[in-house]
């Protein structure tokens, strides 16, 4: 099974929003095979708690403008690891240190990477 075109487009929209707030190391993983409840994980890093929070809020705002609201969100007040569940996609915005510690890319290494093609700003892992 592969992620739907809609899920991929939402992941790219989330990545563009994250990039606009200087997110680093943007990655999208197609997790539709092992996880029947969601299609895509989007991973992004912020340099500090304030940056993590700004990235997460921008993603929420942009997806809301596209008519997609978060079903669940966690960690926004701490700004270390924010999880935004939009149903078809789940966005993880990490503080750099927490991202290295939890290493979701390693955990989901068998899942295909979805090219994000972020226009400007940070370089995504899939383009490195």
Report domain extents, the chain.
5-123
8-state DSSP, 126: G
**Stated pTM of the model:** 0.90
- How far out from the chain centre does Cα 8 lie? 11
Q: Measured between alpha carbons, how far is 65 from 109 in angstroms, rounded to an integer? A: 32
Residue-level pLDDT at 119: 64
pLDDT at 118 (0 to 100): 77
The residues with which 74 forms a beta bridge, in sequence order, are 83
Q: Nearest CA to 116 among 22, 39, 43? A: 43
What DSSP designation does 72 have? E
The series of mean pLDDT values per 10 residues for the chain, 128 residues long, is 92 98 97 94 97 98 97 96 97 96 95 85 43
Can you tell me which residue has the tokens 């926004």? 76
Q: Return the pLDDT at 94.
A: 98
Fold of 5-123: Beta Polymerase; domain 2 (3.30.460)
């Amino acid at each position: 099974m592969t992620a739907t075109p809609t899920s991929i487009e939402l992941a790219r929209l989330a990545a563009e929003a994250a990039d606009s707030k200087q997110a680093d190391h943007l990655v999208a993983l197609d997790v539709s095979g092992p996880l029947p409840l969601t299609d895509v994980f989007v991973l992004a890093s912020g340099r500090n708690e304030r940056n993590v929070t700004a990235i997460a809020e921008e993603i929420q705002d942009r997806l809301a403008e596209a008519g997609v609201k978060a079903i669940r969100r966690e960690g926004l007040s701490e700004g270390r690891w924010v999880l935004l569940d939009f149903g078809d996609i789940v966005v993880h915005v990490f503080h750099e240190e927490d991202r290295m510690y939890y290493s979701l890319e390693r955990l989901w290494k068998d899942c295909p990477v979805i090219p994000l093609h972020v226009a400007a700003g940070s370089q995504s892992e899939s383009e490195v």
